[in-house]
Amino acid sequence: MSHPTTTPPPPTPTFLKLSYPAPRVLLIRMDRPSSLNAMSTTAQWEMESIWKWLDSEPSLSVAIITGTGRAFSAGADLKEWNSSMADDSDPSKRMGNKPAFTPLSRRKGKKPVIAAVNGLAMGGGCEFVVNCDLVVASEDAVFGLPEVKRGVAPIGGALPRLIRTVGLQRASEFALLGEPISAQTAREWGIVNRVVAKERVVDEAVELARRIAENSPDAIICTRAGLRQGWESADVEVAVETTLDKEFAELQKGENILEGLKAFSEKRKPVWKSSRL
């Protein structure tokens, strides 16, 4: 489905395919199935540019990320990582340094992202999932942080986020053993929202995204900011005050809050404008 955007997205020639399955919804498909959608450094920069565009594009409210083939993502391209260790020309460009999965696993951003986990989500791919706002997983999806078995470590942001989601003991079991868990276990631990049949995983994510995107674009950004502040801050009141002073203050200056309240009074569906946040 085509979607009118204010500015065209950055080019995605090597790794990503973009589509628009519902109004205000962007579907991002990692498309390197022969390598289980493992991410090269080039692919990481490609994804980084897409997230920046998503947050700046007023016609979009929510994104979905999924994979092609039997994997969501196997994480870092370990073959490239191995090769890069022997290259002393520019250590900052080595796999494992920045962007080091900042494209998603350390992304804060403004707009929600739903993971549609269609299969294996290992290493950096699992770190992506941990930082998504909602997660839909296929029944055969598998999650793991096997880095300790490869002599490296999951340094893309998953470790502190896992503790906040599943607690220290479960996070330790998951990361220190390096052994995979099933979609059902991930749901029981709170990493996954819904487990569905494999053929339904993207459709289910699109349905959730569609329902989110029906709401006020300003309110979506403000509400997500409040959730994130609470998740990432040690102090509840600091989280609330930060969101009040920033996103909610901007929300109150916009047209959507007036439209939402007016539509409620008039018993009609609101007609939203692009977000001002």
* Residues with active-site annotation: 76, 124, 127, 147
Strand ranges (E), the chain = 16-22, 25-30, 62-67, 71-73, 113-117, 120-122, 134-138, 142-144, 181-182, 194-196
- Residues 75 and 39: their CA atoms lie apart, in Å, by 6
- CA distances in angstroms from 142 to 50, 146, 176, listed in the order given: 26, 12, 17
Residue type at position 148: V
8 A C-beta contact, residue 100 and residue 155: yes
Query: Can you read off the two tokens belonging to residue 8?
Result: 């065209």
- Residues 200 and 136: their CA atoms lie apart, in Å, by 10
> Which residue has 């997983």 as its token pair?
137
